[in-house]
Amino acid sequence: MMRSVARPLYTDHERPSAAPAFAGAPDGTPPWSATTRFHPGGDATMGGVSLTAIAARFGTPAYVVDETDVRMRCRAYRAALPGAEVAYAGKAFLCRAMASWVRSEGLSLDVCSSGELAVAAAAGFPAERVIMHGNAKTPQELAAALEYGVGRIVVDDVAEISRLAALTPPGQRRRVLVRVIPDVEAGGHAAVRTGGEDQKFGLSIATGAAGDAVGRVLGQPCLELAGLHCHLGSQIIGTEPFTTAVVRMIDQLALVRDVYGVTPPQLNIGGGHGIVYETGGRALDLRRFAAAVTGAVESRCAELDLPVPRLTVEPGRALSGPAGVTLYRVIAVKRGLNRTYVSVDGGMSDNPRPALYGARHEVRLVGRAAGGAVRACTVAGHHCEAGDLIARDVPLPEDVHPGDLLAVAATGAYNHSMASTYNQTGRPPVVAVSQGAARLVVRRELTEDLLRRDVGL
């Protein structure tokens, strides 16, 4: 049995000891958190806690997140980029516990809604280390960001400039970044490529919109142009797209200097760093990325006689994705003519990425020894949707049966944040594990929670 945990999660003055070494994500990195262990007899542990015990205590489906793994990755980024600002992209996964971990590890935080900002505020995240994103920020969201005193607001449209100026109290100045389209296509799926011309984010260099926005910001006494921002996409595993974007962004900084006589001090190149989802998969190598990007910044600035700006990177899934596992209970096994379906008690409401992006995940049976051979199975969700498939053609024991427990790897990013209540299904809890202890950090959404929002006739 797991012991109950009365103490709080780690604070700014308390750190997990002996965190495993982490060198980035070289080829061959498994898709499980650094503290995950698979034991003889079939059980598995994360953070020293049995996954079968977690399922028994908290039920299934359940998200499990490895605090030690998150902290280890935060430290790896700070070590690889010692002169840069590392800002966690909260859209990947955010709750008060996660915000507290990245805060205590010295990271900044980027948010893209008033809801994410509210979580940051509830966790006591320092306002000066918060970056506000969003391609269509409402006036209410801008007002909330200004009231909280966020360190920077990323301008994504020229209309935001006048709104910010109107909302800023007399005598105050707000620091902004202008989001520029570098016209670099990169990312694991067309739906998550955001650095090219033909998408909704940013201001085009080619049309002159980016230059117009810079001029408008500089023309507002209450706004300070802190720098430029770009974001190329998600699940990028090579360094070349980043170095190409860096050169184009440095060129824009030089153009601002030449036209307006000011040199913005910051360059934010976003995130999108790819991770491993299946054994044998590839990820962005952090050390190579850091060396390539910092080298490109320094060399291009030297060529243009430009001061080296402070670099900001915004990893999201690279910090939280590998730290997460989702636990499901097998409900039914159907052996058809061409395919074996293993149906579980969750699905696209708690992991929409396979349906949205064709994402693949590694799946393991945990909690008992496997008997006999393995066969290719498709793990199916319980929703009334033919596309509700969590993992296609994954090897599972031939004797898999109802009641078995499955663990799905690398679900720490975008699963909880994109979860829905499809079919009026409550969202799973989030359980944090570290140093042999488990704690509920987000409770399960119950039927009464869903009905509470339904005001009736």
Question: Could you tell me which of 28, 81, 112, 39 has the C-alpha nearest to residue 283?
Answer: 28
Report the DSSP pairing between strands 324-335 and 310-313: unpaired
Provide the 8-state DSSP code for 273.
B
Task: Find the length of the chain.
Answer: 457
Q: What is the pLDDT of residue 20?
A: 41
The one-letter amino acid at 13: H
* CATH number given to 37-66+321-450: 2.40.37.10
User: What is the value of pTM for the model shown?
Assistant: 0.91
Q: What is the pLDDT of residue 195?
A: 42
* Helix and strand numbers, DSSP H then E, in the chain: 13, 21
pLDDT digits (tens, 9 = 90+) for 241-281: 999 999 999 999 999 999 999 999 999 999 999 999 999 99
CA distance 296 to 359: 32
| CATH T-level fold of 67-320 | TIM Barrel (3.20.20)
Is 70 exceeded by the pLDDT of residue 387? Answer: yes
The SS3 call for residue 431 is strand
Residues 226 and 217 sit within 8 Å (Cβ to Cβ) = no
Provide the 8-state DSSP code for 2.
P
Residues 410 and 277 sit within 8 Å (Cβ to Cβ) = yes
| Mean pLDDT to the nearest integer, 106-125 | 97
Q: Which of the residues are catalytic?
A: 384
- The residue with greater pLDDT, 161 or 29, is 161
CA distance 19 to 343: 36
Most confident range (mean pLDDT) of 15-24, 69-78, 188-197, 273-282 is 69-78
Is 50 exceeded by the pLDDT of residue 11? Answer: no
CA distance 187 to 185: 7
Q: What is the pLDDT of residue 184?
A: 81
Could you write out the three-class secondary structure of 370-397? CCCCEEEEEEECCCCCCCCEEEEEEEEE
CA distance 126 to 149: 9
Q: What is the pLDDT of residue 321?
A: 97
Give the distance, in angstroms, between the CA of residue 401 and the centroid of all CA atoms in the same chain: 33
In the block, residue with structure tokens 């793990």: 379
The SS3 call for residue 183 is coil
Question: Could you tell me which of 47, 111, 14, 45 has the C-alpha nearest to residue 435?
Answer: 47
CA dihedral defined by 105, 106, 110, 113, rounded to 10 degrees?
70
Is 80 exceeded by the pLDDT of residue 5? Answer: no
- The residue with greater pLDDT, 49 or 14, is 49
| Mean pLDDT to the nearest integer, 169-178 | 94
Q: Which of 35-39, 194-198, 269-273, 281-285 has the lowest mean pLDDT?
A: 194-198
The ranges assigned to domains in the chain are 37-66+321-450, 67-320
CA distance 119 to 325: 22
> Is the previous residue joined to 31 through a cis bond, with omega within 30 degrees of 0?
no
Both tokens of 207, joined, read 């049309």
The one-letter amino acid at 437: A
Both tokens of 345, joined, read 């008690």
Angstrom CA distances, 278 to 72, 285, 316, 408, stand at 21, 16, 19, 10
Is 80 exceeded by the pLDDT of residue 12? Answer: no
